[in-house]
Chains A and B, each alone.
Chain A
């Protein structure tokens, strides 16, 4: 899980109370007969085969209206929390009724990330003893340093060896590896190892190709990323949206890395940490992103998909793909992490 924020930062969060998590909200709802019966009704409405007609039903509409006033409506989940999947299931059971499930950008079910990159640099300097002085290590291979730092930490080393050996195990000539298990091991690594370690490996800055190749290899792309065929990005998005966890992580990525025209960094609230966190949160799912090549300076990341075969949806597909490949917020965030710089946020 992420380093807990020491204090709320930025004026934008003034007057806002953190919402209860959906597991807790579900318990509160269950204790009240009106709420619990409406919630049961709504779940039946949404479970129906033709959801649209079910939701047009008066009883379903009434249930939705009542629940909009309940703690279930505003509830959120935390990344890597206990019962995360259960929490997300509860969240989507209400929100799938509200949005059509076809929105380009969906609201994130996760709490906003309030910590900053500078928090990570501060912690990292304690671990490494050198600080994040870019001049000191101008010559060294940052990605190699990151791997060394991980190997010196028991937890990081253990979970890293676990995903490397899982993702490297070939099964047959036709099956490169067990992708499902590899994804699971990667999720455990990124969920359970502090971001001081994981970000250093994932977003290290590079000056030569060898370093950039190591960076590209971090998630063992031949197993976790590449596939025989490149699906259409919108088909891949539909696949991802069929899974509560993947859907949530994608929504979180869109909430935190979506290009903003109103900030200097192009990131929402100028928060790099939030963007990097939700990028890393997608690794180990159908929408796993990675560096497309080992170019040390021009950073292009993408999920394993293309816009071929989009038909009339090509524009929408390109728009979806560009949030990865040509996203100034994400690019700035990765570069800022590599340089050890963060935006100064006035309190």
Chain B
């Protein structure tokens, strides 16, 4: 958010606080950087002291800040009694940290509203002892705090002082320790540390699009008598972004072609155009409000059937060897509704993209989509289908598929298939449409017709029609009935899946069998496997993990693919229904809506809950 005014170089400042430190002990400096030249900070402390976990605030009686320099100091010693008083308000948690708020604005609306850039928190780690003797402190403790350093600098703003290296309380207590600070490699950097004041300054203003992170190293040298010790810590500076780059087209491409033919379904992505923006503001939360696109059309058809989807993605580019983040905006032309097959149209759709935060010229771009909508026709290939069916086939035996031209490519078109018998009295077959693949499945509907001598050669008219446009296409299909009729074994179940053994499976028929007998699938016997042993009407369709349009007519046909009820034994369920994988042999009882998966030899115990679960 582009708030005008001064800003703090950090959002959190830290220092240690010991018991009974004398009045006047300096604690730390806070720093404000300018948004515009000539601005002068006036630092002001919030009225309360907060603790981290349970923030029942206490009036600040101990700390003061120098309004001009930003120096925070003790104006009353914090003794054991005061600490106990503060601890009592900490809700049972030990008092480890207290914090103060420092404001830049003269009077905030609400004290609880402390947010960078105009407010910073000063965290004071409370140590329940008096200050240790200088001789007992380690070099590190003279140089840096454990909490680490990190700084925020806004791009394109006037340079200024943003850090003071010295740890004021230890320096105040141990004035005889000699310390110096240095930023490694600072000659080549936009920052420098002043040897005398130990402050860190900027040489010039920064540009995030050039470099957004400076991973510096701060070096501290401590001399105690003749001993010299060096401590080094990371000193990261993050450059904050403002919207100072206009959006543009990568490779200059502002036009995309889109053809609508077979894929006419709602949600189909027809074309994508990209817009690059070197800025990372607005951030992902604000982008929908601040990066606005508009379709430039008054055509109600275009508005009804098309929409533009915007998906922003963070990307990055290389700038002098360092990674700089940027944004890539994808604009997708998407079908808003399924288009009728008769629609034929060609137009150019303009889309206006506006980076509203960008102030200069060029914040608005035009995208163009050249759209061609082609009509498609419902047409059978110029052939007559011929299928054969075995005289012993059972009801729901699947004997073939019919399909209009390019049927696999159709999406979002509602095709249905119908049959009309051209041989009077021979209506043995039915057809069912599989909507996902736009095909028609021919199956045996009336087995009694198969045995009639007048029905040996049947002729059908197949009609495909589009529900929306009522367009139709017709073709013929001849069916020859083959083989000799064998009477059914006695005592066979209706469903092949009931059979548990190979012998009984292959002796019997069942719903869906093509030749009058069921087929056995021998599994691999490797634990819970997709290739389990089972008895099926046709290995081509069952079990294949898909309860197709014919199978879903009757659970007896292929319960292995279609069951929704209980599966007992070691197994894995299918996505919607059915058995995805099973242990040993799986057989089913459609009447009871139950399947069993268990090894065929009776020696192994049944797989219980534990083996079923993925433990």
- A-side interface residues toward B, CB under 8 Å? 12-13, 15-16, 18-19, 52, 55-56, 68, 73-74, 98-100, 102, 105, 107-108, 112, 144, 147, 151, 157, 160-161, 164-165, 168-173, 214, 217, 232, 234-235, 238, 255, 260-262, 268-269, 308-315
Contacts and interface: CB of A to CB of B under 8 A. Distances in A.
A234 B283 CA distance: 11
B340 interface: no
Interface of B: 52-56, 88, 91-94, 96, 109-110, 112-113, 115, 125, 127, 146-147, 150, 152, 238, 240-241, 280-286, 312-314, 325, 573-576, 609-610, 613-615
Nearest to B608: A151
Nearest to B575: A170
- Count chain A CB atoms within 10 A of each CB in B53, B115, B152 and give the residue with the most: B53
Contacts of B146: 261
Contacts of A261: 125, 146-147
Contacts of A164: 613-614
A310 B575 contact: no
Contacts of B286: 311
Contacts of A260: 96
B93 to A, nearest CB: 6
A45 to B, nearest CB: 13
Contact of B615 (A68, A151, A232, A235): A151
Contact of A98 (B112, B127, B238, B240): B112
B152 A315 contact: yes
Contact of A107 (B55, B576, B615): B55
B109 A56 contact: yes
A315 B153 CA distance: 12
A309 B610 CA distance: 44
Nearest to A175: B575
A139 to B, nearest CB: 19
A157 B54 CA distance: 38
A105 B88 CA distance: 21
A171 B109 CA distance: 51
Given A172-B575, A235-B285, A262-B125, A312 B615 contact: no
Contacts of A98: 55, 112
Contacts of A235: 284-285
23 contacts: A12-B92, A16-B91, A98-B112, A100-B115, A102-B115, A107-B55, A112-B92, A157-B609, A170-B573, A232-B285, A234-B285, A238-B285, A260-B96, A268-B93, A268-B94, A268-B96, A308-B313, A310-B283, A311-B241, A311-B283, A312-B241, A313-B283, A315-B152
B284 A100 contact: no
Given A73-B56, A168-B614, A268-B96, 11 more contacts: A12-B92, A52-B110, A98-B55, A161-B609, A262-B125, A269-B94, A308-B314, A310-B284, A312-B280, A313-B283, A315-B150
A16 B110 CA distance: 31
Contacts of A107: 53-55, 91
B291 to A, nearest CB: 12
Contact of A217 (B56, B96, B314, B614): B614
Contacts of A160: 613
Given A99-B112, A170-B573, A311-B241, A262 B96 contact: yes
Nearest to B91: A74
Contacts of A68: 56
B53 A309 contact: no
Contacts of A269: 93-94
Contacts of B54: 107
A311 B281 contact: yes
Given A56-B109, A311-B241, A13 B92 contact: yes
Nearest to B145: A261
B238 A314 contact: yes
Contacts of A170: 573-576
A112 B93 contact: yes
Nearest to B96: A262
B52 A105 contact: yes
A309 B313 CA distance: 7
A105 B12 CA distance: 13
Contacts of A262: 96, 125, 127
Contacts of B281: 311-312
A260 B573 CA distance: 48
B280 A311 contact: yes
A55 B314 CA distance: 37
A100 B113 contact: yes
B242 to A, nearest CB: 9
B575 A173 contact: yes
Given A102-B115, A261-B147, A262-B127, A312 B96 contact: no
Nearest to B311: A229
A336 to B, nearest CB: 20
A106 B283 CA distance: 24
A13 B94 CA distance: 7
A261 B124 CA distance: 12
A127 to B, nearest CB: 18
Contact of B282 (A12, A52, A151, A311): A311
A218 B536 CA distance: 37
A37 to B, nearest CB: 23
A224 B147 CA distance: 35
B91 A19 contact: yes
Contacts of A168: 573, 614
Contacts of A173: 575
A312 B240 contact: yes
Nearest to B150: A315
Contacts of A18: 92
A15 B284 contact: no
A271 to B, nearest CB: 11
A102 B152 CA distance: 19
Contacts of A217: 614
B53 A232 contact: no
A9 B489 CA distance: 80
B53 A108 contact: yes
A96 to B, nearest CB: 11
Q: List the 3 closest A-B pairs by CB distance, nearest first.
A: A311-B283, A309-B284, A12-B94
Contacts of B614: 164, 168, 217
Contacts of A112: 92-93
Nearest to A148: B615
Contacts of B284: 232, 235, 309-311
A161 B56 CA distance: 44
Contacts of B112: 98-100
A314 B152 CA distance: 11
Given A12-B94, A161-B613, A168-B614, A312 B283 contact: yes
A168 B573 CA distance: 9
A19 B91 CA distance: 8
B91 A15 contact: no
A102 B121 CA distance: 14
Nearest to A111: B92
A199 B238 CA distance: 39
A232 B280 CA distance: 14
Nearest to A102: B115
A150 B119 CA distance: 51
- Count chain B CB atoms within 10 A of each CB in A68, A261, A308 and give the residue with the most: A261
Contacts of A12: 92-94
A171 B564 CA distance: 12
A214 B614 CA distance: 9
Nearest to A151: B610
A102 B110 CA distance: 13
Nearest to B112: A100
Contacts of A315: 150, 152, 238
A171 B113 CA distance: 46
- Count chain B CB atoms within 10 A of each CB in A73, A147, A238 and give the residue with the most: A147
A313 B285 CA distance: 11
Nearest to B572: A168
A249 to B, nearest CB: 15
Contacts of B96: 260, 262, 268
A186 B65 CA distance: 51
